[in-house]
Amino acid sequence: MRKMSSNTRVIPDPSRRRFLQGLAAGGVLMGLSPWVKPGWAGQVATTATGMAPVLSGTEFDLIVAETAVNYTGSPRMATTINGSIPSPILRWREGDTVTIRVTNRLNTSTSIHWHGIILPYQMDGVPGISFAGIPPGETFTYRFKVEQAGTYWYHSHSGFQEQTGMYGTIIVEPRGGEHIRADRDYVVQLSDWTDEDPMKVFAKLKKQSDYYNFNAPTAMDFFRDASERGLGKAMERRRMWNQMRMSPTDLADISAHTYTYLMNGTTPAGNWTGLFNPGERVRLRFISSGTQSFFDVRIPGLKMTVVHVDGQDIEPVTVDEFRCGPGETYDVLVTPQDDAYTIFAQSMDRTGYARGTLATRADLTAPIPELDEPEWLTMTDMMGAMAQGGVMGGMGGMNHSGHSMSGSMNKNTTPVRHAKTEYGPSVDMRVDMPRTNLDDPGIGLRNNGRRVLTYADIKTPGEPVDPRDPGRDIELHLTGNMERYTWSFDGLEFGKSTPIHFRYGERLRVILHNDTMMTHPMHLHGMWSDMEDANGEFLARRHTISVQPAQRISFRVTADALGRWAWHCHLLYHMDAGMFREVIVS
């Protein structure tokens, strides 16, 4: 959905690894004034960020403040909780009532959202929806009963504070004790950091949406394409993309040109390390806190058995690799035998990576894989289920009919209906025939020679908690306009849209159509999403669902939570640009 840009920019020197690798000692700098002078950095001790402090029990005191941090050689101000990145790991127990006092020492309002936790809406922590926010100098007390177990996380829901470091892990022990047996248990929290002011990043995207995309096709790419496909097909391919004013490398809005990717708050050069003894079973709780980044995770030489997704047990599935979208959590079990393994989490656009090590000693490392080559989006990603032989409508509307992948047709073979609001300036393409296959791992992971997890593999044991059939359907389209950098539901950005109403106690089906060429991780607050396959059969209980380009997905919801709730894309800049709706359950 991105216009090919003719603007001239300085391409970053690939030999400069400052953003990609970061500083080996990158971390929070203590004792500095709010105005950090770069010259001071070498005179101030750093706080290790390799493992967040752990807070357990039922009473917690969290302090939100600005703290100086240096990941790239240039000190910056971060938004931290109790002075750490990530924020403290909170350990709760299912059935307990927790009390969390959050004190705001910032000069602006703040908030904490407990991602995936089912609770009263007044405790959900979304300013303007569930409460007013926490003003500077004040303390807000969250209090609620913990009715679930598993791996979750928490983050600010105010401005761009999540981007500047305000996120942490929640581990809820099951009421009867942990049933997933492991000798070691580590959190692996993935995130992205920029030295730039996030507001300036957002302004750049609004002005030029492909500002950070340095994977655009080059002359060398054309000659390589011509050599492999023939001159005629290579020219036809370029002509198609140019006519549509789109880029086949539109994979991520923000790249390693400005991002440093972190693992447990540690740069790749810093190399977070988790220790083990050979033969031990190790549980790794992967949490994707990337503000704008999808991570493709693998541990070369080591199989991963995925046992827990979005806080819910799943039928175990063994893979080489999985994609972790913003907001999602994946727990895996591994049994390492050798001395060291690299935990490698590359960004979906293949411009950078987060990295850590599993080792028998802290001084050991393993080889770091090369980044995979970035792949072009296909016609399937752009046009959906009828791309082979499909036809496209006029520019601006881009009524994309299109291209099928295995298992994609099923019950969705007729064109979908688009709301009148989609035919406006906030929408630059529409997909008429979306694909419904869930066995597609996504762009960059198809046929890569590794066993890659797909949504079709993720199955919650047993039947859904609520066995009722849905009484009605709610259908929405994920829409956008890249030239304007606006994102929306049905062509309406938040502020122009009206709330969606669920009737208290009803069982309903939600259908999402992605009319864009980007993957959107969609998070519905307050209620579980019972994901379905293309035939309407129950698959898995989720709190965040990533919808691929030109894809249709559906899930059932039981509206059992009275109040006002947020529903949004968990790419923070997309949410801020309008892909956000309010849901009212009454």
310 burial type by CB count under 10 A (0-12 exposed, 13-18 middle, 19+ buried): buried
What is the residue whose two structure tokens read 């950095």? 41
Read out DSSP for 181-248?
A: --SEEEEEEEEEEESS-HHHHHHHHHH-TTTT------HHHHHHHHHHH-HHHHHHHHHHHHHTT--T
- Supply the pLDDT for residue 21: 87
Nearest to 428 by CA among 379, 500, 477: 477
Read out DSSP for 299-367?
A: -TT--EEEEEETTEEEEEEEESEEEE-TT-EEEEEE---SSEEEEEEEETTSS-EEEEEEESSTT---P
Whole-angstrom Cα distance, residue 586 to residue 578? 24
- Supply the pLDDT for residue 416: 85
**pTM of model > 0.75:** yes
Residues of the chain with pLDDT under 50: 1-16, 30-48, 222, 241, 388-412
- Supply the pLDDT for residue 44: 37
Quote the DSSP letter at residue 466: S
Helices (DSSP H) in 15-168: which residue ranges? 18-21
- Supply the pLDDT for residue 182: 98
Nearest to 262 by CA among 16, 47, 71, 29: 71
Helices (DSSP H) in 347-455: which residue ranges? 379-383
Quote the DSSP letter at residue 573: H
- Supply the pLDDT for residue 283: 98
- Supply the pLDDT for residue 166: 97
- Supply the pLDDT for residue 215: 73
Beta bridge partners of 346: 296, 353
- Supply the pLDDT for residue 34: 39
Phi, psi angles (nearest 5°) of residue 47: -95, 130
